[in-house]
């Protein structure tokens, strides 16, 4: 069973994240953060043979957890 976790980004760092998201063409900070986390997870935990999780599955799970809309 999946839990949920929220991350708070505040102040100057939030402004930097907004600038990065905009400069990279993302429609929102949430989209930028999600994509960045997905890339890092994929880098650190490559899928096992026969057990690959599609990007769409990850997106649906994160939506269910309330991380993205």
Angle at 9 between CA 37 and CA 17, to 5 degrees: 65
* 2 within some domain: no
Q: Given a cut of 70, is residue 20 above it in pLDDT? A: yes
Q: Does residue 56 have a pLDDT over 90?
A: no
pLDDT above 80: residue 43 = yes
- Does residue 4 lie in a domain region? no
- Whether 1 has a pLDDT exceeding 70, the answer reads no
| Residue 1 belongs to some domain of the structure | no
37 in a domain, yes or no?
Answer: yes
52 domain residue, yes or no:
yes
Could you tell me if 2 and 10 are in contact, meaning their C-beta atoms sit under 8 angstroms apart? no
Stretch 24-39: mean pLDDT, rounded? 93
pTM of the full structure:
0.61
pLDDT for 26 = 95
Whether 40 and 34 have beta carbons less than 8 Å apart is answered as no
Characterize 28-46 residue by residue with b for buried, 16 or more Cβ atoms within 10 angstroms of its Cβ, and e for exposed. Answer: eeeebbbeeeeeeeeeeee
Number of domains into which the chain is organized: 1
């Amino acid at each position: 069973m999946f839990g949920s976790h929220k991350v708070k980004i505040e102040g100057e760092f939030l402004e930097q994240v907004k600038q990065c998201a905009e400069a990279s063409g993302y429609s929102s900070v949430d989209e930028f953060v999600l994509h960045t986390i997905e890339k890092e997870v994929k880098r650190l935990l490559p899928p096992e043979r026969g057990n690959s999780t599609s990007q769409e599955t990850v997106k649906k799970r994160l939506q269910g957890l309330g991380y993205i809309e």
